[in-house]
Amino acid sequence: MLLIILISVAVIVFFAGNAVRIVHFLRMPTPLRWELYPIPKGPRTRQRYGGSYFEQSDWWTKSPDTGRTGELAFMAKEILLLRSVWENFRGLWLWSWLLHWGLYFYLLTTVLAVLAAVLRAGSFRLLHLAVLYGFPLACSLGVAGSLGLLVMRSLHPRLRGYTTRSSVFNLTLLGAVFVTGLLSLSDGAGLDDVVRVLLRSPASLGHYGRTSQAHLALVAFFLAYFPFTHMTHAYMKYFTWHGVRWNDSPAIHDPLAAKRLAASLQREATWAATHIAAGGPVKWSEVASDPGGRGAGRA
């Protein structure tokens, strides 16, 4: 009974925590524009050398390229191949790739197991085989990846100074989830069987061995813990890349963006620097419009 309560609470915390995080981000003030090219937008020829629509004369009179093909292709390479890790730290790439693909396969096989349970698709042999072989593959990849990353973070001089206790804990937790997942197979409980019991008769979970119950408890803890960690980059990257890193859309063509910028300009400037003298109760609209180029000049 305690395990059922733990899983139920974890699922609620997972969805509520992630929803709060997304809403909080969407309600934040408009971020500063990067405008660091190249970005995966516009004609491919222009992307190659880092050009932008600012090269065009009277660009403000023309409709910008709003296609998402380049963005989706970039994100697919990043998600599936971890391209930025390969380009910037190749020695870390293999272990990071193994861990991520372990998580991908774990999620995929879980979804397939839920689908089989909901549709009562026990007769679909292909679906059963995908779960049967996909789950141990996911756990094996995850164990190798998490162990490899722990070793790299402990021994590599480039990583030791940046390895925090929370990052070690996260990798240890993921490793424990995958290890107990592999060991739970010795209890004779396949993933499809466990999911079916969870959805139809959760009270029967007590009949499984301690390893299977420990695995479910760790998964529940991970779900509740996930929204409060940097691991939310799994989906937050969409907002930070699409909404910040690649956002070069002119406000003149985006009424909503113009409205948000106007609201941001009414905020009080609470800091000053050598290039912005904004001491006192000054709004950012005053700072931006100062003809002297140093803000409101009240510091």
Q: Parse the chain into domains and list their residue ranges.
A: 2-30+67-245
pLDDT-wise least confident of 22-26, 41-45, 182-186? 41-45
Q: How far are the Cα atoms of 74, 82, 125, 222 from residue 89, in angstroms, in the given order? A: 18, 11, 41, 27
Q: What is the mean pLDDT of residues 201-211?
A: 78
Q: What is the mean pLDDT of residues 94-120?
A: 92
Q: What pLDDT is recorded for position 277?
A: 64
Q: What pLDDT is recorded for position 54?
A: 85
Question: Given pLDDT bands bounded at 50, 70 and 90, which one contains residue 87?
Answer: very high
Angle at 125 between CA 122 and CA 131, to 5 degrees: 80
Q: Which of 107, 128, 13, 78 is nearest to 233 (CA)?
A: 78
Q: What pLDDT is recorded for position 123?
A: 56
Q: What is the mean pLDDT of residues 163-176?
A: 95
Q: What pLDDT is recorded for position 135?
A: 95
Task: Say which residues have a Cβ less than 8 Å from residue 289's Cβ, sequence separation at least 6.
Answer: none
Question: Given pLDDT bands bounded at 50, 70 and 90, which one contains residue 294?
Answer: low
Question: Given pLDDT bands bounded at 50, 70 and 90, which one contains residue 279?
Answer: low
Q: What pLDDT is recorded for position 16?
A: 98
The H or E element containing residue 282 is strand 282-283
95 compared with 72, residue with greater pLDDT? 95
Q: What pLDDT is recorded for position 224?
A: 97
pLDDT tens-digit readout, 227-262: 999 999 999 988 888 888 888 888 777 777 778 888
Q: What pLDDT is recorded for position 62?
A: 80
Q: Fold for 2-30+67-245, please state it.
A: Fumarate Reductase Cytochrome B subunit (1.20.950)
pLDDT above 50 (res 299): no
274 compared with 194, residue with greater pLDDT? 194
pLDDT tens-digit readout, 118-162: 877 655 778 888 898 999 999 999 999 999 999 999 999 889 888
pLDDT above 70 (res 298): no
Q: Which residues of 188-205 are buried (b: 16+ CB within 10 A; e: fewer)?
A: ebbbbebbbbbeeeeeeb
Question: Given pLDDT bands bounded at 50, 70 and 90, which one contains residue 93?
Answer: very high
pLDDT above 80 (res 73): yes
pTM of the predicted model as reported, rounded to 2 decimal places: 0.85
Q: What pLDDT is recorded for position 44?
A: 83
